[in-house]
């Protein structure tokens, strides 16, 4: 067709590349001084638990919002029902001359 785009052909490579897993490289540094102090292990920083706390807090807020919205709708439906019953009862109990 006239408006069909023509894409260039991609060249086909005859070599295949395979990513082989390599062992991590351990870097060692020369001591700065000759005092030879024992190396203390530093505690690992944990970032993942804060993500879990934030996710749990968001889920709790959403759940509370859904429950409160459902309660508000239930109260509204009950109030409308009571209002309709009141109007019907008023019209039935009113004297005949007021109709």
pLDDT in tens, 56-80: 899 999 999 999 999 999 999 999 9
Which tokens belong to 35?
Answer: 């005092």
At 24-67, the pLDDT tens digits run 777 777 766 777 666 666 666 666 667 778 888 999 999 999 99
More confident residue, 23 or 81: 81
**Angle, vertex CA 89, rays to CA 85 and CA 91, nearest 5:** 120
Residue 49 CA to residue 92 CA, distance in Å, equals: 65
């Amino acid at each position: 067709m006239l408006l069909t785009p023509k894409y260039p052909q991609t060249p086909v490579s005859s070599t295949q590349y395979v990513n082989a897993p390599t062992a991590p490289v351990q870097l060692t540094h020369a001591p700065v001084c000759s005092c030879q102090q024992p190396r203390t292990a530093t505690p690992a920083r944990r970032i993942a638990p804060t993500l879990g706390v934030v996710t749990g807090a968001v889920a709790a807020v959403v759940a509370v919002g859904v429950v409160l919205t459902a309660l508000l709708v239930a109260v509204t439906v009950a109030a409308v029902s009571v209002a309709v019953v009141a109007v019907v009862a008023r019209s039935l109990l009113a004297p005949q001359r007021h109709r």
